[in-house]
């Protein structure tokens, strides 16, 4: 009769058990990592002289997308979706490039900080509109993507502006070893500095809570509206970081948004974040971005049409996610 109680109380949680559970909980990320390693080995096979230079190129091209994926992951974890990430990246990119046109290095740093604050602000505007109007996230952020894209064109109607040299210097070179590109190191450092304390804070918990079950979160004492606004503000902050990364990488401002929005959604899904919210983290999406970038590189090495790379990315997305849900289904049946 204690049937319901047994499974919970069973077993003393020894180290083996804990390890097994850790593997099971992170199985998706481990699988992604294995996939990435396979891809890198494959790359080395088809291009024997692939080395530090290749990794450097990979880091430079992936930096902005990694930040965009983290921005999207935070929103999706808290149960939303942000379709304005690409537009926010373009907007912050042109604001930074335009402002740095006449500035010296010192004001340049101030400008960078100002751009980050701007990103948080416009992200918070997205969130506040969603909370106050109660219109679905997908619609509000789609509408706001037009607004921010328009604002970007108002600032700069054609590509222009310039990036400070201290900023562009961040996008090249390496630290410690030639295998660790400086942009990759910086991006990961920034993400770690923001994400790890956040994850351990009550706010981080609240982000997962509202994504998991809004009603239960509300009943547990979480301020749902405020947490949602904060999640969008964080997405804005990471979009602004991505905007700065684009500025550093290209040295100019480009008012037209690249394909960051939808690729970030793809990376989030591939990275094991549940679109229903509440599950996943930022590590998976980061690895997913690397996978997508390596595939593109391989296509180039294989001398295939680059449009084919886009097709492949789509196919891989569907196959991997399908494989994942099949595995989950089988586990549930077992």
Partner 1 sequence: MTDSTAELMLDAGGIAKAYGAVVALRDASLAVKPGEVHALMGANGAGKSTFVKILTGAVRPDRGRIKLRGRDSTASSPRDARRLGLVSVYQEPALLPDLDLRSNLRLTDTPVDPFRHWLNELGHPKLDLSLIAREVPLASLRIVDLARALAIEPDVLLLDEMTAALPADLTERVLDVIGRQRGGKGSVVFISHRMIEIAAICDRATVLREGATVGVVDVSAGSEERIVELMLGKIDELPERTEESRRAAARADGATPRLAGKGLASGTALEDVSFDVYPGEVLGVVALEGQGQDELFDILAGAIRPSSGEILVDGSTASFRHPADAIRAGVVYIAADRAEALLMQRSVRENISLPGVATLARWGPIDLGRERGKVGRAVDMLQIDARAGAEVRRLSGGNQQKVTIARWVTDGVHTMLCFDPTRGIDIRTKTQIYVLLRDLAEAGAAILLYTSELKEIQLVCDRVIVIFGGKVVAELDAREADEPRLLRAAYNLKADAELPEETIAESTSDGTTLEAATEPQTAPSAPSPAPVEAGTSAEPGGDTDR
Alpha helices in 78-155 (DSSP H): 85-100, 105-133, 137-155
Min dist CB 276 to partner 1, Å, is 9
Among 101, 103, 213, 258, binds partner 1 (CB under 8 A): 213
List the x/- string, 93-132, binding to partner 1 by CB under 8 A: ----------------------------------------
Min dist CB 311 to partner 1, Å, is 34
Closer to partner 1 by Cβ: residue 43 or 214: 214
For residue 197, give every residue at least 6 positions away whose Cβ sits within 8 Å of its Cβ, in sequence order, or none.
Answer: none
Min dist CB 293 to partner 1, Å, is 29
Min dist CB 223 to partner 1, Å, is 7
Return the residue matching tokens 């304390």. 197
Backbone region of residue 176 per phi and psi (left: phi > 0; alpha: psi in -120 to 50; beta: other values): left
Q: Is 10 helix (H, G, I), strand (E, B) or coil?
A: coil
Task: Find out whether 68 and 238 touch, Cβ atoms under 8 Å.
Answer: yes
Dihedrals phi, psi of 174, to nearest 5 degrees: -145, 165
DSSP state string for 145-198: HHHHHHHHHHH-SSSB----HHHHHHTS-BSSSTTSBHHHHHHHHHHHHHHHHH
Neighbours of 317 (CB within 10 A): 18
Length of the chain measured in residues: 334
Closer to partner 1 by Cβ: residue 21 or 44: 21
Min dist CB 221 to partner 1, Å, is 3
> CA-to-CA distance for 64 and 213, rounded, in angstroms?
31
The reply to whether 1 sits near partner 1 by the rule CB under 8 A is yes
> CA-to-CA distance for 318 and 260, rounded, in angstroms?
19
Among 127, 211, 257, 272, binds partner 1 (CB under 8 A): 211
Stretch that binds partner 1, among 161-169, 208-216, 234-242, 303-311 (CB under 8 A): 208-216
Among 133, 220, 305, 325, binds partner 1 (CB under 8 A): 220
Among 165, 223, 300, 325, binds partner 1 (CB under 8 A): 223
Among 65, 94, 222, 290, binds partner 1 (CB under 8 A): 222
Site for partner 1, residues 32 to 91, rule: CB under 8 A: none
Site for partner 1, residues 131 to 170, rule: CB under 8 A: 134
Stretch that binds partner 1, among 34-42, 92-100, 264-272, 273-281 (CB under 8 A): 273-281
> CA-to-CA distance for 210 and 169, rounded, in angstroms?
40
> CA-to-CA distance for 290 and 313, rounded, in angstroms?
12
Min dist CB 226 to partner 1, Å, is 10
- Site size for partner 1, by CB under 8 A? 37
Residues near partner 1 (CB under 8 A) = 1-9, 13, 18, 21, 134, 202, 205-206, 208-209, 211-225, 274, 278-279, 332
């Amino acid at each position: 009769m204690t049937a319901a109680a047994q499974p919970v109380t069973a077993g003393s949680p020894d180290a083996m058990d804990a390890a097994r559970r850790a593997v099971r909980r992170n199985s998706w990320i481990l699988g992604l990592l294995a996939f990435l390693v396979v891809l890198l080995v494959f790359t080395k096979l088809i291009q024997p002289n692939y080395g530090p230079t290749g990794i450097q190129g990979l880091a430079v091209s992936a930096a902005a997308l990694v930040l965009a994926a983290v921005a999207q992951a935070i929103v999706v974890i808290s149960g939303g979706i942000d379709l304005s990430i690409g537009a926010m990246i373009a907007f912050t990119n042109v604001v930074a490039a335009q402002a740095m046109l006449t500035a010296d290095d010192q004001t340049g740093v101030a400008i960078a900080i100002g751009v980050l604050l701007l990103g948080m602000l416009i992200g918070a505007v997205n969130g506040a509109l969603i909370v106050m109007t109660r219109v679905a996230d997908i619609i509000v952020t789609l509408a706001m993507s037009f607004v921010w894209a328009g604002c970007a064109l108002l600032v700069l109607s054609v590509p222009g502006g310039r990036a400070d040299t201290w900023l562009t210097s961040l996008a090249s070179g390496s630290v410690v070893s030639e295998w660790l590109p400086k942009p990759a190191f910086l991006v990961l450092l920034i993400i770690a500095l923001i994400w790890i304390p956040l994850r351990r804070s009550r706010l981080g918990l609240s982000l997962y809570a509202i994504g998991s079950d809004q009603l239960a979160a509300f009943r547990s004492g979480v301020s749902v509206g405020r947490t949602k606004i904060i999640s969008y503000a964080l997405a804005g902050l990471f979009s602004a970081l991505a905007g700065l990364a684009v500025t550093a990488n290209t040295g100019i401002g480009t008012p037209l948004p690249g394909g960051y929005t939808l690729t970030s959604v793809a990376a989030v899904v591939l990275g094991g974040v549940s679109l229903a919210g509440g599950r996943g983290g930022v590590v998976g999406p980061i690895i997913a971005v690397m996978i997508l970038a390596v595939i593109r590189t391989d296509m180039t090495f294989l001398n295939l049409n680059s449009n084919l790379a886009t097709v492949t990315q789509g196919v891989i997305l569907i196959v991997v996610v399908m494989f994942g849900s099949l595995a989950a289904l089988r586990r549930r049946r077992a």
